[in-house]
Structure formats: structure tokens, C-alpha cells
Amino acid sequence: MQIAKGGVMLGWIRRYGIALLCVLLAILALAKVKIAGLDYSEQEIILALLGLLAIDNLAERTGILNNVLNQLNDVSRRIPRQGDHHVVMTRRNQVPRLADVVEAARREVILVGPSLDTVVGMAGRLEEVARGGVRIRIMLSAPTQESVQRYADHMVFDNWVSPDDGEFRLAIDHLRNNYRILHRSLDAGGDGRVQIRLIDKMIFCSYVIIDPTLRSGSLAAHLHMYKMPVDMTPFVQLERTTDGEWFSFFFSAFERAWQDSRPVTDQDRYGPPPAQRAAHDAT
């Protein structure tokens, strides 16, 4: 109780004591009153008055600065440092909706996957994003039997069995159809904002990368693990500001794959000529 009273008293002195002392000095200066034993001029009283005001003002400013500094320190403790890693591993059903992520893009959208069935289903929204000036890069597997065989050997789907020749044909036609839908919807090759390329190699990670060159960049990588069901394999979610090292790693991996990808040919779009297909079927 006594401590509380002492604190109140100190606060009262700090708030009103300097002001009262200033008033007293001003009265002495105006009345030209001399205190016994003290020799001072009016100019000295004025300087003393200004000094007290400056001290009071400095104390107030120092208090404000200390308060701001404490708040900044509190904020800095909450913001992850660049060296901290906050890699988020999630399941497929826990990642944000692809449409919401894509619509938030400001500069670039990158979509990579074996077939990109989900992307095909939202081609119309991608077209709107591209019209808004956002660059779009899409990479999917080449529609060849060799490509389909790689995925048959590596991945496990709930409804997947090792394909025979007829099922290979269906899988290849499915890839071609996905490409045609994306190309037609996005008008790829028009002004260079939309690029769709194929890769003849195995895609071990599907990617959704948003604005990789901006501080707000984000990246989701779906890891295709050997002989593990696709719905069980993890997604790695990264932010450029907090996961800079791993963000750069995955983005560099994509760029290398993009460099090894190729443009789409007429055979990719429509299949081999009838004579070539007949010769292939006969072997």
C-alpha cells in the first residue's frame, strides 16, 4: 500500500512539480524578487526556466521513445527471422483451394504436374488471371507411352492398375485432351504471357508457385513418393519471406525442369499420323 502511495506521489511530482517550479521562477522574474543570499539576474531566471522546460520535454519524449522501442521489440519477437524455417507439411485435403491461391497472384503463376486434371477444371479462371496481366507457366507430362509407363512404375493411385496397351492409349489421349483444353482456353502463345510446355522426364514434384520473385511469394510442392498412394503423399508449403532457403531450392528445381521441357508439337496435340500409328501397333 505504501509503495502504491509513493508511486502516486512521484507521478504527481513529475506531472505538476516542474510546472509549479516554472511558475515560481516566472513570478520571481516578473516581480524582480531577490531571495536572501542568492544573486541572480532576470536573464539567468529565464535561462533556468527554459532549462526546466527542456528537461520536462526531454523526459516526456524519452518516455514516448521507450514505449515505441518496447513495442518494436515485441513485434520483432513475433516476426520469424530469415534464418528460421517454418516449413509446413500437409495432406492433400488440407492445402488451400487452388482457385483461391491462383486468383491472389500479382505477377506470375506456375503450375506443374503429371496431368494437371485439377488445373484443367479451372482453365476459365486462369484465363481471367492471365487477362489481368499475370504471367502463367504450365508444365505437364509428354503424352507418350514411355512417359505413362514411368508413372505406372513409380506411382500408386487408388484406381490405378498396370496398364495394358489399350489403357496406355487412353492415358495418352487423356494427356493430349488436357493439353488441348488448356491451350484453347488460355490461347497459349498469343502475347507470351501464357506458356505451356511438356517434359519427357519423370515429374517427381507437382508445383503451385505464386509470385516467386516477390516478397509475398509462396510455393506448394506435392511430393510423388515411390509406390505410395498419391492421396497420402505430403505437400510442402513454403513462404519466400520465412523459408527463403527451401523456397529457393524448390524454385531452382522447377527452373531446371523448365529448361529441359519442350514446346508442344502437332504430334503431341493430335497423335502420330495414321500410318505411323499403324506401324507402332503392329510391333
Q: What is the pLDDT of residues 81-118, one digit of tens each?
A: 544 556 677 766 677 788 889 999 999 999 998 888 88
Residues above pLDDT 70, as percent of the chain:
58
Average pLDDT (194-198) is: 92
pLDDT of 42 strictly over 50: yes
18/249 Cα distance (integer angstroms) = 62
Average pLDDT (10-34) is: 58
What pLDDT, on the 0 to 100 scale, is given for residue 15?
56
pLDDT of 134 strictly over 60: yes
Is the model more confident about 283 or about 49? 49
List the single range of 72-76, 135-139, 240-244 with lowest mean pLDDT: 72-76
- Would you say 108 and 134 are in contact if contact means Cβ atoms under 8 Å apart? yes
What pLDDT, on the 0 to 100 scale, is given for residue 283?
46
Average pLDDT (133-155) is: 86
> How confident is the model over 235-274, as pLDDT tens digits?
889 999 999 899 999 999 999 999 999 998 888 888 877 5
What pLDDT, on the 0 to 100 scale, is given for residue 231?
76
What pLDDT, on the 0 to 100 scale, is given for residue 159?
43
pLDDT of 11 strictly over 80: no
Is the model more confident about 155 or about 147? 147
Can you state the percent helix, strand and coil of the chain, rounding each to 5?
55, 15, 30
pLDDT of 162 strictly over 80: no
- Would you say 171 and 148 are in contact if contact means Cβ atoms under 8 Å apart? yes
Helix (H) or strand (E) holding 10: helix 2-12
Average pLDDT (164-174) is: 77
What pLDDT, on the 0 to 100 scale, is given for residue 10?
52
List the single range of 3-7, 104-108, 187-191, 254-258 with lowest mean pLDDT: 3-7
How far out from the chain centre does Cα 46 lie?
Answer: 60
Is the model more confident about 228 or about 257? 257
pLDDT of 279 strictly over 60: no
What pLDDT, on the 0 to 100 scale, is given for residue 280?
47
Residue 103 burial class via C-beta count within 10 angstroms: exposed 0-12, middle 13-18, buried 19 and up: middle
